[in-house]
Structure formats: structure tokens, C-alpha cells
Amino acid sequence: MEIKSIKLKNSSIRNQMLIMFLIVILPLFAASIMLLVNMRSEVTDKIISIANERADSLRNSITNLVDTSESFVDSFASDERVISFLTNEYEDNSDYYRYYSRGPHQERLRAAPFLECVKVYTEREDFITNVDYIYADEEIRSEQWYMAAKENSGEFIWDVVSDPSDGKRRLSCIKAIAKAGSVIGVVCAIASDEWISRGVSSEENKTILCVGPGNVFFSNYDEVNSEGRIEFDSSISMNGSKMVMKEGLLGFKGHTITETFSYGSDFQIILLIPEGVTDLEINKLSVIYSGYFCLFFILSLLIIVLFTSVFSRRITLLSEKMHAVAGGDFKVEISDEGNDEIAQLYTDLEQMIHSMQTMIDDVYQAKLQNEEFKFVQMEAEFKALASQINPHFLYNTLETIRMKAFCNNDKETADLVKKLGKFMRRCLEFKDGEVTLRSELEFTNGYLELQSARFGDRVSYSIYSEVSKDYMILPLVIQPVVENAFVHGIESCKVNGRIEIRVYYSGENVLIDVKDNGIGMSADKLAELQEKLRRNDTSSGKSIGLTNVNKRIKMYHGERYGLTIKTKEGEGTTIRITLPRDPSVRSAAVTGVKTDSERR
């Protein structure tokens, strides 16, 4: 495989693309053939799906026929004229003929096109009958449907009944006609074959419709007579379900779909799908697919030949320009008329030349910023050590004062001197680098304790942190902000001064809020301070501590971090310190490498 790959690389790009085209198109052709072979099952599934939809449509037609027929039969069986006609004793035969000519029978039947005819059976031997009103002889009385109607006089019976006029068996809705709890006749509404045939529109599939235990009332399959009966085996569910069988029913070659449901009675819908239907669809698809594939192959071959010619020419030109740049010629003309990946390569080559020219300047500027950062750190250290004339003398003097106060039983003064000593030692021991959040908060807490001793009940404070105490932070970041809150906010409060320090996570940042309820700032003072922070002006004036902290954070972590101020005159001030959640995030001044945003 590796040898073949090397030989392919030794060919021109145009030849490589032609070979790749053939490598792709041949497996695609083979896969298409396999897809066409396997398409039979998909076509069969589609045909079965259509047949299932037709079975549902037939089911709807049957349920509609049941509803309308039962409504007609119920109205007919409760008609007082029909009941009176069946129960009255007539002395003259003309009364019968008068009813037959003017009675409700034909009138109702004309309003029911879904019925072939309506027959009324009576057991009165003295009754004069005609084609619509029939005497129920022994043969009719022994019919299952007749006996079921008499035994269940309030229910509808659905069965296949012989039409007395032509002897043909049709689907019928049967119900007893009762008066005062006694059955006086049986009405049999025979459904129209033409009405049922309208719902069977497919000529390709064969349809068999049954009622009750397999009594056929419609069939366009020659092997099953519409007046016959089908014995369903145990494999066909009769509990209201739909089944698809790969092997045909009743010797039929093809798929069989059966749907059984109960709606007034048990009905069965049987759809027979011949094998030839699937073969015909497959043949059509094969012809269409073969034509499309040949056309696709020829057009694709022409397009790939044209494309490879243009592509190869553009790649060759790009290669020549890259060789010129590699040889040190940065003034080579870089241009390409296009908007695709090759044009993007030309753009990238131009940007690469520009990047190479500016790389030395970037490295030099980063080194300058690094030196500036070190200078700022040294400046902060110098200011912290400004009062360090003789640290050992100062510590010893404070310790002497503390012991003197302790011996004089002034423990409060001794404790304050001890806290002051610890605070000043931390200030004097300030060095470059990072400290833990725990250390910075302890240092700030010591400062707050000293101020609380100074102000007494006038000032209260709280420190809350949900950030890990091992989080690394620049030293002397929080305390100068707290000191600023005392000097410019709390000192003017005579009572109930309060400072709240809150350290918490917010997305990819760590936020430190220092909030006081002091006098706040006017809009002019706030604008002046924000401008000073923007310019990182630590030369002179007020709020040097804030600008120093802001400048150190921005130089150490980047421009997106630092201090923001929110204040309202007379209500207090909140100074927010924004730091990266990952303390390892460094600016170009520290890492010596510029980010894309810093270059821009």
C-alpha cells in the first residue's frame, strides 16, 4: 500500500485527481448495483404501506356503512306505521295493497343509496306478503341470523344473508321489530354491492371482505367466491389487529395483509398483493437508474477533466511563488482571482510574509513590556519598603512597647501592637511573585482589625470567599482597595460604617468585590478616577494605590482584567477586582508572546 502511495505521489496532480475519481466512482457503481438489488424489499415495504393505508380506508368505509345502516334500521324498526301494519288485523286485502303503494318502505329506501333493498320478515300466516314483506317459513326461521335477531331484539345483527329477489348473498344489517316487548317481525337491510365496490379502487391488489367468522360479502379474487366462507387458521389474529404475511393466503402467491376489527360485529379485511407488482416497480426503477447513472458518469468525467486542468495550473503557479518566498524574495507579487481554498492559500502566503517581517518587532516589544512589568513590580516593592529604615530596630521597638503594655496589664494595647507588627512585617517582606488567597485575606483581615480598633463601633466589616484559599494572587491587591474604602469612604461616617469583601467565581473569572456604605463619589470624581485607571497614571495625586493595583493586574494577566468602580454619591462605592479563574493566565508582558488580540 505504501509503495502504491509513493507511485501516486510521483504523478501530477491532474493524474492523481483522475485516478481518485475512478477510485471513487467504481465502488460507487458497485454499491449502486447492490442497492438496486436490495431495493426490492424497500419497494415491497412501500407497496405494503400503501396497501395498509387502503385497508384503513376500507375500514373507514365499512364503519361508515355500519353507522348509516344501523341508523336507518333503527329508525325503520321503530316507525309506528310499520309496527301498526305488522300488528293490525285487516278485513279487506285492499288495505295491504294500499300500504304497499303508499307506505314508508320505498320512501325510506330512496333516501338510503347505500342499501340494495330492505326486507321485513313476519311469522303471521294470514299476512299478505310481497317482495318487501316476506313470510318467515321454516327455512328462514332456522337461519342463524334470524334466530339471533329474535333472541337479541334490542341489538343489531350483521351477517351475510341471501337476497330473496336474486338469491345472491349480501352483507346485511338485521334487527327485530318489537311491540310491547314482543317480536312482531325482523327487518333485514341488505347493503348495496355497488356501494361497497366504490371503496375497492385498486385493480392491482385483490380484496376480500368478511363479516363474522369468515363470511365473505365481497371478493374480487377469483379463487374466493363472494358468497363463500374462509376458515382462518390460528396464525391470523381475530382480536382487532393488522397482520402482514409473506406467504399468500388460500394458495395466493404474494403478500397478504389482514386487518380485523369489531364495529357492531367482527369484520375482516384481506388484501392480496401479487408478486408481479413488486417486479414491475423494480424493472421501472432499474431502467431509470441505469440511464441516470450513465449520464452522471459521462458528465462527471468531463467536469473532472476540466476542473483538474484549471486546478493544476493554479497549484503550479502557487508552488513557484512559494519557492520564491523560501528563497528570501518577500517582494513577490501575490494575487489570485478566486474565492476558494487555493485563493485562501495565496492570502495565507501573503499574511505569512507579513508575519515574518513583524515577528522580530513583536519579540522585541514583548521583551520591553516584560522589563516594564518588572520595573512596576520593583516600584511597588520600593513603595512598600519606603518606611523600612531599620526593620530590626522597628520590630524590636514594637515588641518592647507590646511587652510594656502587657506588663502594665493593658492587653488590648499589647494585642494592637502585635497586630501592627505582623502587618508591617508583611508590608516590609513584600517580594515579586504570587501569594495564596489565604495569605492575602489574612493580611487584609489584619489591616481591618487595626482599623476596627481605631474606629471602634463606627465601623464593621465582613469577609466572604467561595474561592479556594490556595488560589494564587498577586500580593497587595486587596488591602490597598480596602484602605481606599476607609480613607475616601468610611472615615467621614460617624456611625454604622461597613465594609464588605466578597470573593466568588463568575464564569471564567474570579471576582473580588470591596463594598462600602460611605459617602460615595460624584460623577465628575468618578470620571476622573476612571480616566486615571485607564491611563495607569501612578505619578501623583489621589488613589495611587488603586491605579498601582490596576496597572499590576493588567500587566500580569492582560488588559481584560483589573479594577472597575460603581458608586453613587451619598450611598457608597463598590470596587470590583476581576482576575482569571485560571491563575496561570499571563499577559504578553510576562510570557513574552503576544496574542492575536494584542497584535491587533
Residue 208: inside a domain, yes or no? yes
Asked if residue 444 and residue 551 are part of one domain, the reply reads yes
The fraction of the chain above a pLDDT of 70, given in percent, is: 68
Contact 189, 173 (CB under 8 A): yes
Quote the pLDDT of residue 471: 93
Name the domain boundary from 244, 276, 308: 276
What pairs with residue 245 in β-bridges? Answer: 256
Whether 243 and 376 share a structural domain: no
Domain boundary (276, 295, 320) is at 276
Q: How many domains does the chain have?
A: 2
Q: Please indicate, yes or no, if residue 395 is contained in any of the structural domains.
A: no
- Mean pLDDT computed over 26-49: 72
Q: Is the per-residue pLDDT at 379 higher than 80?
A: no
Per residue, what are the HEC states of 215-283?
EEEEECCCCCCCCCECCCCCCCCCCCCEEEECCCHHHCCEEEEEEEEECCCEEEEEEEEEHHHHHHHHH
Pull the grid cell for residue 490: 468610611
Q: Please report the pLDDT score of residue 392 as a whole number.
A: 47
At residue 501, does pLDDT exceed 90?
yes
Q: What is the pLDDT of residue 98?
A: 84
Assess whether pLDDT exceeds 70 at residue 226: no
Average confidence (pLDDT) over 489-493: 76
Asked whether the predicted pLDDT for residue 24 surpasses 60, the reply is yes
Q: What is the pLDDT of residue 386?
A: 44
Greater confidence (236 vs 92) lies with 92
Any domain includes 314: no
Q: Which residue has the higher pLDDT, 44 or 503?
A: 503
Q: Is residue 410 part of a domain?
A: no
For residues 263 and 376, membership in a common domain is answered with: no
Residue in 152, 258, 246 with CA at minimum distance from that of residue 209 = 258
Report whether pLDDT(446) > 50: yes
- pLDDT confidence band for 600 (50 / 70 / 90): very low
Mean pLDDT of 197-202: 72
The percent of the chain in helix, strand and coil, each rounded to the nearest 5, is 55, 20, 25
Report if residue 399 sits inside a domain.
no
Domain around 556: 369-385+430-599
Q: For 599, how many CA atoms within 13 A lie in the half-sphere containing its CB? A: 13
Instruction: Dump pLDDT digits (tens) for 457-475.
Output: 788 889 999 999 999 998 8
562-577 pLDDT, tens digit per residue, is 999 999 888 889 999 9
Average pLDDT taken over every residue of the chain: 77
Task: Say yes or no: 259 and 380 in one domain.
Answer: no
Q: Identify the top-confidence range among 161-165, 331-335, 480-484, 490-494.
A: 480-484
Q: Tell me the per-residue pLDDT of 121-130, one tens digit each, with 9 for 90 and over.
A: 999 888 888 8
Confidence of residue 6 (pLDDT cuts 50, 70, 90): very low
**Would you mind telling me the total number of residues written for the chain in this entry?**
600
CA angle 289/295/301 to nearest 5° reads 130
Highest mean predicted confidence (pLDDT) among 196-200, 273-277, 320-324: 196-200
Q: Classify residue 398: in a domain, yes or no.
A: no
Q: Are both 242 and 381 inside the same structural domain? A: no
Question: Residue 495's pLDDT is what?
Answer: 75
451 found inside a domain? yes
Most confident stretch, 102-116, 152-166, 485-499? 152-166
Taking residues 150-178, report their average pLDDT.
89
Least confident of 176-190, 414-428, 490-504: 414-428
Task: Kindly state the cell numbers that stand for 548.
Answer: 498601582
Q: What is the pLDDT of residue 465?
A: 93
- Residues 380, 257 share a domain: no
Separation of alpha carbons 353 and 337, rounded Å = 20
Q: Which of 456, 570, 437 is nearest to 516 (CA)?
A: 570
3 state SS for 496-522: CEEEEEEEEEECCEEEEEEEECCCCCC
CATH number of residue 188's parent domain = 3.30.450.20
Tell me the CATH number at 502.
3.30.565.10
Q: Which of 276, 294, 317 is the last residue of a domain?
A: 276
How far is it, in rounded angstroms, from Cα 239 to Cα 241? 6
Does one domain contain both 91 and 240? yes
Domain for residue 486, yes or no? yes
Residue 503 clears pLDDT 90, i.e. is over it: yes
Does residue 271 share a domain with residue 374? no
pLDDT for residue 579 = 94
Q: Give percent of the chain with pLDDT exceeding 90.
A: 17
Average pLDDT over residues 282-293: 72
pLDDT at 3: 42
Q: Rounded mean pLDDT of 76-96? A: 87
Q: Is the pLDDT of residue 334 over 80?
A: no
Most confident of 15-24, 181-190, 367-376: 181-190
